[in-house]
Amino acid sequence: MALELGNLATTIPASRRWIRFDALRFVALLGDLVLIPLISVLSSIFYGRISGTFFDFTDSLGLGLLFAALFVLLAQLQAIYQPSNLMRPVWQMSQVALLWVVVMAFLAMVAFSLKVGGLVSRGATVIFVASGLSILILSRVLWARFLRRALESGSFAARRVALIGHSPLLARQTLLAELSSVGLSVVTRSGFSPGGFSASAHDTGHLADTISAVRKAKVEEVYLCYGQDLNAAQKALAELRVLPLPIHLVLDGELRDLVTRPIRRFGPLVMAEVHRAPMSAIERAIKRSLDVMISLSALFILSPMLVATGLFIRLESKGPVLFRQSRTGFNNRPFTILKFRSMRVMENGSVVQQASRDDPRVTRVGKIIRRLSIDELPQLWNVLRGDMSIVGPRPHALAHDAHYEKLIGNYPYRQHVKPGLTGWAQVNGSRGETPTVESMVERVRLDLWYVENAGFWLDIRIIARTFIALSNVKHTY
C-alpha cells in the first residue's frame, strides 16, 4: 500500500476573484426577480406611449412582482438556477418557456375567476408576456456564454476541495479538469494503492495523516474516488467523519450510470430502472401529434422547393425522382423509405455501399441536395404515414443492419422507438458515413441514450439543434 500526500497550491484561485461558481445560483435568481417586474413596468410605459394613454404603473409593477415570485419559485424547484444547469442553454430555454406558459396560464385563470382582468392593460400585458419570455430566453444564452468564458479564464473563486482515493484514479488529468469546470479547486490529494486499504489499516487509523493534511489545507469539501470499490470507500468514510466537512463519493462507470436512472420505491425496497420499456401511451400520443403537426406544416411550406428539386433531378438525368429503399422501423417492422434520387444507382439489395467523399455515383444535383440534406425531405411523408418520427435513430439500409447486428451486440435496441429524420446522434456529430466499426459503435451509443431518455422536451431540443447541425456540412457528401 502506498500513501501519497500532496498539496496542489498552484490550483488555488487568487483571492481577487470575487465570487464562487456555486454562488451564481443566487445571482441568477435575484436577476430574474428584478428583471421580470422591470419588464412589466417598461411594457406598460411602452404601450402607453404608442397608444397615447396613461396608465398607473403600480398595477403593472404588482403583476410583474407576482409573476416573478411564481416563476422563480417554480424555477428553483426545477433546479434552473444551478450553475451547471445555467451552462445548458437549450435545456434552459425549454424549461423557461414551459414555466413561463404555466405561470401565465395560472394567473390568467385566477384573473378570470376573480374578475380582476380589468386592473391591467391587455395590450401592455401581451407585450410583457412576449417580451419577457424573449428576454429571459436571451439571458439564458448570455449566462451560458459568460459561464463558459469565466471558467476557461479561471475567473471564479472556487471551493477548496480534497481528493482521497485510489492513486490511479486521482492521477487522471480528466478528473481535475472536470472538477475545475464546475468551480472546484483541488488543493490536496491523498492516494492509496488499490487493495491496500485493509481492515487492519482501517483499525489503526490509517487516514490520520490525510485528515491532518486536509485540516491544514483549509479544505471546504472532501471527494472520495474509489471507483467501484465501495468497501474501501465505506472504510474511508468511517474515519473521515471526524471532519466537520461535506464528503462526496465520486461515482464512475457503471455506478454513475446506475444512480442516474429512475428510482422506484416499494415499501422497504428501492429499485433502479436499468432498462426502459417503450414509451407510454400518452408519451406516444404526444410524440405522434408533434410528428403530424411538423410534417404537415413542413410539406405545405416546403412544397415549392420539393417540386423544384424534383424538376432539377428529372432534367439532369433519366430515372425516377424519388429513390425507394427498404428499411426496418419500430420493433423490426419493414417499411419503404423515400429520398430524392441523388445517385446514378438504386441499390436496395444485400450489398449497399455507403456514400463517400467525391463519390462518382453522386450526380451534380445530388451533390447539392445531399450537402444541404434536401434529399431527406421526402421522408416527411414517411413521418406523416407513421413509418418514421421527426426525432429518432436514423434508419440504415437492410444490408447495413444485417452487418452491424453481428458486430455490435446492442445494435437492435435502436428499434425500440420509431426511426427519425434527425436524432441525438446526428446533433452530436455522428452524421454521414461510418467508415469504421468504432464510428458505428459511437452512433449506436448515442442512439441508445435517446431510446432510454426519449421525451417531448428532448425532441424539441434535438429539433432546435438540428438546424445548427445542418450548417456543418463537412460530413455530408
Domain presence at residue 189: yes
Confidence at 130, pLDDT banded by 50, 70, 90: very high
Residue that terminates a domain, selected from 152, 168, 195? 152
Do residues 27 and 134 both lie within one domain? yes
**pLDDT value at position 346?**
65
pLDDT by residue (tens digit) across 424-440? 998 888 877 777 888 88
Domain presence at residue 279: no
Do residues 446 and 333 both lie within one domain? yes
pLDDT by residue (tens digit) across 371-386? 888 889 999 999 999 9
Average pLDDT over residues 292-296: 93
For residue 223, the cross-strand partners are: 163, 248
Residue that terminates a domain, selected from 129, 152, 175? 152
Residue 69 neighbours by CB under 8 Å, 6+ apart:
33
Do residues 322 and 446 both lie within one domain? yes
C-alpha span between 268 and 383 (Å, rounded): 45
Do residues 248 and 298 both lie within one domain? no
The answer to whether the beta carbons of residues 236 and 169 sit under 8 Å apart is no
Place of cell 417586474: 37
Average pLDDT over residues 117-121: 63
C-alpha span between 102 and 75 (Å, rounded): 11
For residue 270, the cross-strand partners are: 265
Domain presence at residue 207: yes
**pLDDT value at position 472?**
62
Domain presence at residue 327: yes
**pLDDT value at position 212?**
86
Do residues 307 and 447 both lie within one domain? yes
Average pLDDT over residues 76-105: 88
The answer to whether the beta carbons of residues 349 and 398 sit under 8 Å apart is no
Average pLDDT over residues 150-179: 79
**pLDDT value at position 477?**
52
Q: What range defines the domain where residue 136 resides?
A: 21-152
C-alpha span between 338 and 336 (Å, rounded): 7
* Nine cell digits for residue 308: 423544384
Q: Which long-range contacts (CB under 8 A, 24 or more apart) does 372-375 make?
A: 372/470, 372/473, 373/470, 373/476, 374/305, 374/309, 374/340, 375/339, 375/340, 375/342
Across the chain, mean pLDDT equals: 82
Average pLDDT over residues 301-318: 89
pLDDT at 68 over 90: yes
Domain presence at residue 474: no
Do residues 337 and 254 both lie within one domain? no
C-alpha span between 240 and 64 (Å, rounded): 48
**pLDDT value at position 386?**
93
Average pLDDT over residues 43-61: 79
Give the torsion sign (CA, 109, 110, 115, 120).
negative
C-alpha span between 316 and 325 (Å, rounded): 22
Do residues 56 and 123 both lie within one domain? yes
Do residues 7 and 141 both lie within one domain? no
Residue that terminates a domain, selected from 131, 152, 173? 152
**pLDDT value at position 110?**
80
Tell me the CA distances in angstroms from 287 to 126, 166, 278, one per residue in order: 30, 46, 13
> What's the gap between Cα 206 and its chain centre?
42
Confidence at 117, pLDDT banded by 50, 70, 90: low
**pLDDT value at position 12?**
39
Do residues 393 and 305 both lie within one domain? yes
pLDDT at 181 over 70: no
C-alpha span between 401 and 412 (Å, rounded): 8
**pLDDT value at position 422?**
92
Domain presence at residue 278: no
**pLDDT value at position 315?**
86
**pLDDT value at position 7?**
42
Give the torsion sign (CA, 287, 288, 289, 291).
positive
Please state whether beta strands 159-166 and 420-422 pair in parallel, antiparallel, or not at all (unpaired).
unpaired
Confidence at 205, pLDDT banded by 50, 70, 90: low
pLDDT by residue (tens digit) across 228-258? 888 888 888 888 888 899 999 988 777 777 7
Positions of E strands within 330-417: 334-340, 389-391
pLDDT at 204 over 70: no
Count of domains observed in the chain? 3
Domain presence at residue 188: yes
Place of cell 425522382: 321
Do residues 166 and 142 both lie within one domain? no
Average pLDDT over residues 172-177: 76
Nearest Cα neighbor of 161 from 95, 225, 92, 222 is 222
**pLDDT value at position 476?**
56
**pLDDT value at position 216?**
87
Residue 183 Rama label (left phi>0; alpha psi -120 to 50; beta): left
Do residues 428 and 457 both lie within one domain? yes
C-alpha span between 156 and 179 (Å, rounded): 13
Do residues 7 and 96 both lie within one domain? no
**pLDDT value at position 15?**
41
Domain presence at residue 8: yes
pTM (whole model) above 0.75: no
